[in-house]
Copies of this chain bind each other. A is one copy, B any other.
Amino acid sequence: MLKGRHLIDPMDFTLEEIQEILVLSEEIILNPNDYSDICKGKILANLFYEPSTRTRFSFEAAMLRLGGQVIGFSEAISSSVSKGESIADTIRTVGCYADISAIRHPKEGSSKIASQYSSIPVINAGDGGHQHPTQTLTDLLTIKSIKGNLDNNVIGICGDLKFGRTVHSLIKSMSRYKNNKFVLISPKKLSIPDYISKEVLKKNNIEYLEIEKMDDVIKDLDILYMTRVQKERFFNEDEYLKLKDSYILNKEKMNKAKEDMIVMHPLPRVNEISYEVDEDPRACYFEQAKYGMYARMALIAKLLGVN
């Protein structure tokens, strides 16, 4: 039963509950008109304490396409937080106006705290370097819809694996399905942290490989998940400039990949995928954005119990 629940951590839901959401997402994709009014009279409050246009748009479009409405703010400066209000008070007040809320906050754990005081379902729309569960739902729906299966994939993940929040959640989530293997491609300084490699992968006897060069492994991958090198995660400008171009996907590398490999990216990209790759039918990152909207539609409908 998902009605009335919060989604803070990608692992909050069981495999069965995730499945429920994915199935509903695919139903919505097939018959959008059947769902275009199910949230009539409902309001989503988008509390974005830091800007994230893409995620905000995705939530807004999701709610609007279900017939609901949206209120919100898109950065802390235009909110009561400038008057020193706690997030606990904010969510309790917002619960007077809205039926469900999505919270984006630069501080880890903010959504969790909000959910503890909230009378309405809270969705974590990203909290610092911590969690971003609707990105994970997006990724799962994309893989299920395009690859047809969440099991038996060789999943390459490339870029900043140390700080990349979406990557950690993806590994944890895909580890719950059968027989997936991971190829972790990153500079050593940005390699996957122990709490993922030891606590998730080794603990569950999941096969994985850590490697520095994409060229050596791209031919084996079913999925290549590219990530942005986020400038703000680096300690200094030199370090950033030295590393940022190391992991760029281009046509040449794509030529070595399987014909049915798919390329994913949480977006926005800077230059880690060359524009020439966009034309390749295996480039799925814009489709992925669309799946993100459908996954959020299904999630909102489930948490509101209106589907």
Residues of A at the B interface (CB closer than 8 Å) are 33, 36, 41, 43, 45, 51-54, 57-58, 60-61, 64-65, 69, 71, 73-75, 77-80, 82-85, 88-90, 92-98, 228, 267-270, 275, 286-287, 289-290, 292-293
Contacts and interface: CB of A to CB of B under 8 A. Distances in A.
B41 A83 contact: no
Given A268-B85, A270-B84, A61 B71 contact: yes
B269 A98 contact: no
B98 A61 contact: yes
Copies in the complex: 3
Given A52-B80, A96-B292, 20 more contacts: A53-B73, A53-B79, A54-B93, A60-B71, A61-B97, A74-B78, A83-B228, A83-B268, A83-B270, A85-B267, A85-B268, A85-B270, A89-B268, A93-B267, A93-B268, A93-B286, A93-B289, A96-B286, A96-B290, A96-B293
A65 B88 CA distance: 24
Contacts of A84: 268, 270
Interface of A (DSSP majority class) = helix
B73 A61 contact: no
A57 B290 contact: no
